[in-house]
Chains A and B, each alone.
Chain A
């Protein structure tokens, strides 16, 4: 059936009410157009359906930002990320203070600190931020997909 793939994809990526109000009518119109119009109308109809999916994402994003609890969520996520960043910064600090450039224990020689270039530090910071942020986001963000509930057509 035309539009089933878009529908299945949208069900996994947008909220249920958004799917029902924005994506589902677009798919229904695509299917109606496919059955009543000639085939050269189809590409434009498909683009319209995909644009409706993109519109649904934007709509969902706007709704998420407007949620009253969003500010609290942001603070929690930022706090968890900062905690992990602090942990990695602490580890790096201990390493630079206690190890020499060959990885041997040599407290207060600060060889690693002098050997590090600004680009190395920037890369380490980005890596620490990434490995702090990704697991926090993966664990805290709820699954927004509408799932595989049966459609009226099915």
Chain B
């Protein structure tokens, strides 16, 4: 989600930007599942007339996905705090 927050990207771009955290074989399955849950949305890129090959699919984070990402970050921070830290 962090990678998709700033701008629209395609799968291979995400793999390269993730510095090894995303694999090219599994990134599309992950994105499809995230799309099914409404975290990301996708569209096929517009192709120039006469272009050959399949059009790439561009992904971007939805507002709901970004909210879930923020909530997850908050939750992770909260769980990271030990009880003693929380009292102090």
Is A bound to B?
yes
Q: Which residues from chain A contact B12 at a C-beta distance below 8 Å? A: 29, 32-33
Q: Which residues from chain A contact B24 at a C-beta distance below 8 Å? A: 26, 29, 44-45, 48, 51-52
Interface size class of A (residues with CB under 8 A): 20 to 34
- The residues in B between 49 and 76 inclusive whose CB is less than 8 angstroms from any CB of A are 52-57
Contact across chains for A52 and B53 when beta carbons are under 8 A apart: no
Closest chain-B Cβ to A35's Cβ sits at a distance in Å of 7
Residue in B29, B55, B56 whose CB lies within 8 Å of A55: B29
Q: In chain B, what residue has the closest Cβ to A53?
A: B25
Q: Which residues from chain B contact A82 at a C-beta distance below 8 Å? A: none
- The residues in B between 18 and 49 inclusive whose CB is less than 8 angstroms from any CB of A are 23-26, 28-29, 31-33, 35, 42, 44, 47
Contact across chains for A153 and B54 when beta carbons are under 8 A apart: yes
Interface string of A41-58 (1 = CB under 8 A from B): 000110110111011101
Contact across chains for A25 and B11 when beta carbons are under 8 A apart: yes
- Assuming A7-B54, A32-B12, is B26 touching A59 (CB within 8 A)? no
Tell me, in angstroms, the Cα distance from A56 to B32 when the chains sit together.
Answer: 10
Q: Which residues from chain B contact A138 at a C-beta distance below 8 Å? A: none
Tell me, in angstroms, the Cα distance from A45 to B29 when the chains sit together.
Answer: 16
Q: Specify the main secondary structure of chain A where it touches its partner.
A: helix
A-B contact count (CB 8 A): 82
- Assuming A29-B12, A45-B24, is B44 touching A152 (CB within 8 A)? yes
Contact across chains for B54 and A55 when beta carbons are under 8 A apart: no
Tell me, in angstroms, the Cα distance from A22 to B56 when the chains sit together.
Answer: 11
Q: Which residues from chain A contact B54 at a C-beta distance below 8 Å? A: 3, 7, 24, 27-28, 31, 151-153
The reply to whether the CB of A1 lies closer than 8 angstroms to some CB of chain B is yes
Binding site for A on B (CB under 8 A): 10-12, 23-26, 28-29, 31-33, 35, 42, 44, 47, 52-57
Q: Can you list 19 A-B pairs with a CB-CB distance of less than 8 A?
A: A3-B54, A18-B32, A21-B35, A21-B57, A22-B29, A24-B57, A26-B28, A28-B57, A29-B10, A29-B12, A35-B53, A44-B24, A48-B23, A48-B24, A51-B26, A55-B25, A56-B29, A58-B29, A59-B29
Please list the 3 inter-chain residue pairs (A to B) with the smallest Cβ-Cβ separation, ordered nearest first: A51-B25, A48-B24, A31-B53
Other than the given A25-B10, A29-B56, 13 more pairs (CB < 8 A) read: A24-B57, A25-B57, A26-B25, A27-B54, A28-B10, A28-B53, A29-B11, A29-B12, A33-B12, A55-B28, A55-B29, A153-B54, A153-B55
